[in-house]
Structure 1
């Protein structure tokens, strides 16, 4: 059984950084924290980024995977304070900080076709022009957003319709729009930090959660749930950022090194994910043959898809005109990406 631990160890590690951190533009060692393990998607991206920076500059990158410096909220605070130079955090956790980032949790907004999805993330005006301004307002330089894989549910009982989620306490990230989405799906959304999820499923405090296939396999969610259900509603998105004061204080040469490393890691991680979802679900079935893995048909998905308008309306209500513009631009970008295939 694999359970990720935070708490005292994380607090000590964070304290050590607070004491020893030197957040100057000339620092030879740059610190980069992310929300997953080294061998998961964010960790693979971070390692490629580190490789590129170190190959093309005199700087070194120190990597901090999940749990070493606390939960998601902790590493974001450290990045904003300049203790960390880089941070990878899903919009699912930055929703309170940057409400417009919750747009990635409008169900059925992102396409399932991988090539269309990759083209969208590469060329989107919303991602590459509009979101950087919003992140900058929070002291963050947005370097890259990228998809991590189709999100699927794990539950104790099969799910074939919203009715099957009735009275199911379903863990969601601490994200207001994701709460609204699972309410619309019929569940009882229960926000929890990731470090508490395995134990909460094990003890029955919650009965379900969602994540991309590789994460379900690597974190062994199949040990404490019985069914995987893929309804095609979302693809997990994450964002890599730098502390803006740190980034703005760099030479043009160093900024170029970082941008080039971000681009190289982006290309690498899209290629790395080819067939990753299918392989991960296969590994789950091999590890636990009794695990039921279902992909809903188009007909079964319809009731879930019909909730999209309701969640979109909630998103616009939360974010106002700014959110509406982001949503409209994303839809235009997605149409363009689809037409280019």
Structure 2
């Protein structure tokens, strides 16, 4: 597999070096399978690009070109024109993006959540310059669904996570968050998680509902617990040098494609999340799924304040500005959704 990845990367590197940034074939890599949320977003983006221009878009699902860190490096280097990556991984590059992992910041109400992602000033005004500093043009951010834990034993309180080696993305704030929850956070790339759960190297992990289903995480775990602490966020980006070199017409095609894919994926991810638990129980009837009550969630919610403080300490004044703007955006979204 590693040799195949190297061969593919070498091939597209050679193609990129022999072509201009205006090449008719553009390349787009994402972190999930073609049938998962990022893959469906990418396919819709591709359809819009190809229907409204002479360009074609070549898609590279998870694993084709390596892990998340690999495809980001390739996007920054201009080997890829487009990349889709969660702030969970981008947070190491853009620390302020870790704000999406402050527990209990994002709402669980789908209407409020969608209103926020459509109109957030933090997303549309504050984040683009930070991405630009890393050679990236932020096209859009969108939700992928409620995040839930999978563990070997039931989790009803932070005490139940004590001593549990819990896989997190390579994201400093997620380490802080799961430390506050009482677990022992263990950063791992996604490709190692199934095997680590299977062998007991780790005893827990978190992901959106649909991902627990599509990746068959239920095969190596016994309990799913939803504590309402987060909704998974991801971002579609372009290499900035490539994007800045495009004609105004091509830029408009890309922006329109990103908007169309964004609107399409909002309903798709909601429907996918709603079906996931039924699919899991059909495959493994003995699977225990617990949706904690508001009262049961309170001890977890109490940990959010120190995690917010850690976020501000990591990111300084800019991080504080983004956090405050996001809270204002969320208040506006809640009011608009009523």
The TM-score bracket by the shorter chain reads over 0.9
Shift of the alpha carbon at 1:256? 0.1
1:244 aligns with: 240
The answer on whether the counterparts of 2:147 and 2:208 sit within 8 Å (CA) in structure 1 is yes
2:73 aligns with: 77
Match of 2:277 among 277, 281, 290: 281
Shift of the alpha carbon at 1:15? 2.2
Partner-residue secondary structure (3-state), 1:158 = coil
For residues 193 and 112 of structure 1, what CA distance do their matches in structure 2 show? 26
Match of 1:34 among 5, 13, 30: 30
1:254 aligns with: 250
For residues 127 and 116 of structure 1, what CA distance do their matches in structure 2 show? 15
Matches within 5 A, 1:80-99: 80-99=76-95
How big is each residue's C-alpha offset from its partner over 1:16-48, in whole Å with a ceiling of 9 and x where there is no partner?
222222462310000000000000000000000
Match of 2:41 among 42, 45, 49: 45
| Larger CA deviation: 19-28 vs 204-213 | 19-28
1:272 aligns with: 268
Long gaps (5+) in structure 1: 1-5
Match of 1:150 among 146, 150, 156: 146
Match of 1:66 among 62, 65, 77: 62
Root mean square deviation, CA, Å = 0.8
2:300 aligns with: 304
How big is each residue's C-alpha offset from its partner over 1:32-73, in whole Å with a ceiling of 9 and x where there is no partner?
000000000000000000000000000000000000000000
The answer on whether the counterparts of 1:182 and 1:188 sit within 8 Å (CA) in structure 2 is yes
Q: TM-score, normalised by structure 1?
A: 0.97
2:8 aligns with: 13
The answer on whether the counterparts of 1:14 and 1:70 sit within 8 Å (CA) in structure 2 is no
Match of 2:317 among 313, 317, 321: 321
Shift of the alpha carbon at 1:317? 0.3
Shift of the alpha carbon at 1:11? 2.4
The answer on whether the counterparts of 2:145 and 2:270 sit within 8 Å (CA) in structure 1 is no
Partner-residue secondary structure (3-state), 2:26 = strand
How big is each residue's C-alpha offset from its partner over 1:122-176, in whole Å with a ceiling of 9 and x where there is no partner?
0000000100010000000000000000000000000000000000000000000
Q: TM-score, normalised by structure 2?
A: 0.98
2:182 aligns with: 186
Partner-residue secondary structure (3-state), 2:270 = coil
Shift of the alpha carbon at 1:271? 1.6
For residues 277 and 55 of structure 1, what CA distance do their matches in structure 2 show? 29
